[in-house]
Amino acid sequence: MATNTPKQTSHLKREILVRLIKAYLSDNFEENTRLIPYDMRPKGSEVPYRCCIHQERAVLRDRVIAGLGLSIEDAEDSELLSSLAKKALERKEPEEHPLTVLHTACHGCVPSRIYVTDLCQGCVARPCESTCRFGAIKVEHGKSVIDPSKCKNCGMCAQVCPYQAIAKIIVPCENACPVGAITKDEDGLAHIDFEKCISCGKCVSACPFGAVHKKSQVIDILKAIKEGKKLVAMLAPAIMGQLPCTPKQLKQAIMKLGFSDVIEVAEGADITSANEAAEFKERMEKGDKFMTTSCCAAYNELVEKHLPEIKPFRSETKTPAYYTAELVKKEMPDAVTVFFSPCVAKRREAMQNPNIDFVLNFEELGAWFIAMNVQVADCDEADYRKESSAQARNFANTGGVAAAVNSLLEDDEKAQAYVVDGLNKQSIRDLKKFAKNGQCEFGNLIEVMACTGGCLGGSSTINAYKPALKQLTNYVNESPEIKTVVKK
């Protein structure tokens, strides 16, 4: 199970979001934004993380920039936060890429490599030398030596060493990225190649310094509320496992923030289930060997950028967010739609969908509640407009999408489901193999989720996986089952 953002960096990000929201709600947003690093680290205060108070403030400044929804890379060092706050207010739409890198926070980790420690005994068996397929390791003067020009960092020599004398140094963000989109720039600091990036958010969770940061859209949303626009919140199913309240209390709590209505994205998930079941049935009848799901935004980015060969096998059905936003815009054309997301990738999906105006992640929602002193557990309950199915609400859990599709098929049409529970280098190689061979030996319906644990394991969730799963499962068990079956 992949962990979410480390606790200390998560607390820092939340505190900055809380202060940003309070600054926006104050009578002087720009000036109060400028003061955030100084209010958090006043003169003479303890310096918990960096060498000096000036470095602490520099990092906090960059975190504020990301909180404003701006790229840190594009901000001049001399530009005041008040000026950047004004830019955030003046922009017409969010920036294209959802991630940015804080070079002030980046540790500039040493390059990934395999190296031989002093524990090497120069044994006679020499399993490290015989195991290496690249001829990168030799024994010299009684010790193993690795030739970095030949080493592929496969780690096989480390696995076979009987003394565990060979170690592998990793760079957390680079190691976590399944597509090699994050590397070091000429200064040795992290750099994201957005031509490769699939916005899975794994680098955000992996960096122990919190140097890879999500760009927030909370200021855009607050601005829309202040302008008197009708905002509709669309809640991804994973949110039902995040906060210490009932789903109906959550609706009322969100309404207190200024939203006109709150809708479950499970409504769209029911449409996705029906469409995907019908599509699966049609594909199997015409002789296709397998079909993959298509509801994970990061997986869809992976297919477009790195796995075009599997595109013929990917379902053409749209995501639950797509169908939900379509429903809202048809019923309320003037509404501003805000998708409440557990991950980074949905921001990229929203950029490509004119029906989704903004994306607010669960971390930002939690900060918003704190800033406005909304106690979710004390809120009254409010009914949702529609009772979505148990299967739709379980989309957030690994295996939930495949189970929903199967619940709509006749017994003799049931899919043999295979779940890719988290995208990594190995699972991507497996998908490439399935596409090349034209079949998957493990099943004919492949559910692909970028995050381990499904959406409940997303990089923007705020509850630990197990308690979140328990809370969501209770909600699912209270929900009605899908009644309609896809007929022959």
Instruction: Measure the CA–CA gap between 342 and 453, rounded to whole angstroms.
Output: 12
Cβ neighbours for 30, distance < 8 A, ≥ 6 positions apart: 82, 83, 85, 86
What the block records as the tokens of 363 is 């971390």
Please write the tens of the pLDDT for every residue from 271-281.
999 999 999 99
pLDDT attached to residue 1: 41
Instruction: Measure the CA–CA gap between 151 and 114, rounded to whole angstroms.
Output: 8
pLDDT attached to residue 5: 52
pLDDT attached to residue 107: 82
Residues of the chain with pLDDT under 50: 1-4, 488
Q: What is the 3-state secondary structure (H, E, C) of the chain?
A: CCCCCCHHHHHHHHHHHHHHHHHHHCCCHHHHHHCHHHHHCCCCCCCCCCCCHHHHHHHHHHHHHHHCCCCHHHCCCCCCHHHHHHHHHHCCCCCCCCEEECCCCCCCCCCCEEEECCCCCCCCCCHHHHHCCCCCEEEECCEEEECCCCCCCCCHHHHHCCCCCEEEECCHHHHHCCCCCEEECCCCCEEECCCCCCCCCHHHHHCCCCCEEECCCHHHHHHHHHCCCCEEEEECHHHHHCCCCCHHHHHHHHHHCCCCEEEECHHHHHHHHHHHHHHHHHHHHCCCCCEECCCCHHHHHHHHHCCHHHHHHECCCCCHHHHHHHHHHHHCCCCEEEEEECCCHHHHHHHCCCCCCEEEEHHHHHHHHHHCCCCHHHCCCCCCCCCCCHHHHHHHCCCHHHHHHHHCECHHHCCCEEEEECCCHHHHHHHHHHHHHCCCCCCCEEEEECCCCHHHHCCCCCCCHHHHHHHHHHHHHCCCCCCCCECC
Q: What is the pTM assigned to this prediction?
A: 0.91
The segment(s) of the chain belonging to CATH 3.30.70.20 are 113-169
What residue has token string 């003061």? 35
User: Which has the closest alpha carbon to 469: 387, 392, 394, 390?
Assistant: 394
What the block records as the tokens of 241 is 């496992």
Instruction: Measure the CA–CA gap between 199 and 194, rounded to whole angstroms.
Output: 9
User: Which has the closest alpha carbon to 332: 222, 249, 234, 219?
Assistant: 234
Q: Does domain 113-169 have CATH number 3.40.250.10?
A: no
pLDDT attached to residue 109: 83
